[in-house]
Amino acid sequence: MILLISPEEDLPNEIEILHQLFEAGLEYFHFRKPNKNKEYCQAYLNRIDAKYIDRVVLHNHHDLTSQYAVKGIHMEERIWRAEGDELASYVSSFKTKGFSVSSSYHEPEDLEAQLDIFNYYILSPVFAAISKSQMDGRGFDVRHIPKFVAGMGGINASTTPDAIALGFQGVGALGGVWNSPNPLASFVSMKNAFFAA
């Protein structure tokens, strides 16, 4: 699996580029705009062609699942930690309606200790992050973890094979695609590297 997280701040022609990425095979678009309100998110989702809306995973405003037939929701670390004892119930409330539910981690020990309730788990930073220059990569090896783990942080076409060799079953990008002069070409190269590995 290859997932792409939206840029935090809007980019010129972002929706147009996103449609090109969908057409090129993007199946997991993590819609994360932490500084935007619900109305903004609704307007953004309304601009996505309806035939692609089932590839969108919501990081914020999970209640929008009642209005949009998205793929699912994502729980960032602070969110799943805040749920405490109610976490399994919260996850189940979405999974029983057919939505995928994923979660984020920054320590492999936390990921290993987590209940096996999520469709997939994101661990970062695997390599030095492209979108956050101060974030050093940690080279996590997840071959011993019996969960579907996707690696984030410093992922692009050249590092994708290295991530797979470390046991990641999926890879995720943000800066590796959006910060590129040609996001579409970068995504296609990354996709080709993933399936060739």
CATH value at residue 42: 3.20.20.70
For residue 197, the model assigns a pLDDT of: 82
* pLDDT above 80: residue 132: no
List Cβ neighbours of 35 (8 Å cut-off, separation of 6 or more). 8, 9
Residue 128 binned pLDDT confidence (cut-offs 50, 70, 90): confident
Q: What percent of the chain clears pLDDT 90, i.e. is strictly above it?
A: 94
Let me know how long the chain is. Answer: 197
For range 19-40, the mean pLDDT? 97
- Quote the tokens at residue 39: 């109305």
61 φψ region: left (φ > 0), alpha (ψ -120 to 50), beta (else) = left
pLDDT of residue 196: 94
pLDDT of residue 179: 93
Give the model's pLDDT for residue 134: 64
Burial of 85 (0-12, 13-18, 19+ CB in 10 A): exposed
User: What pLDDT is attached to residue 129?
Assistant: 74
193, 161 Cβ separation under 8 angstroms: yes
Q: What is the pLDDT of residue 158?
A: 95
Q: What is the pLDDT of residues 67-84, one digit of tens each?
A: 999 999 999 999 999 999
Neighbour-count burial of 12, counting CB atoms closer than 10 A to its CB (0-12 exposed, 13-18 middle, 19+ buried) = exposed
C-alpha span between 131 and 166 (Å, rounded): 22
**Omega into 125 within 30° of 0, i.e. cis?**
yes
Task: Give the burial class of 94: count Cβ atoms within 10 A of its Cβ; 0-12 exposed, 13-18 middle, 19 or more buried.
Answer: middle
Q: What confidence category does residue 133 fall into, taking pLDDT thresholds of 50, 70 and 90? A: low
Residue 136 has pLDDT above 90, yes or no: no
pTM, two decimal places = 0.95
Full residue range of the structural domain in which residue 38 is found: 2-196
The 3-state secondary structure of 96-152, one letter per residue: CCCCEEEEEECCHHHHHHCCCCCCEEEECCCCCCCCCCCCCCCCCCCCCCCCCEEEC
Structure tokens at 126: 């695997």
Q: Categorise residue 37: left if φ over 0, alpha if ψ from -120 to 50, beta otherwise.
A: beta
Which tens digit of pLDDT belongs to each residue from 103-115? 999 999 999 999 9
Q: Per residue in 137-193, pLDDT tens?
A: 899 999 999 999 999 999 999 999 999 999 999 999 999 999 999 999 999 999 999
In this prediction, residue 13 has a pLDDT band, given cuts at 50, 70 and 90, of very high
Q: How many domains are contained in the chain?
A: 1
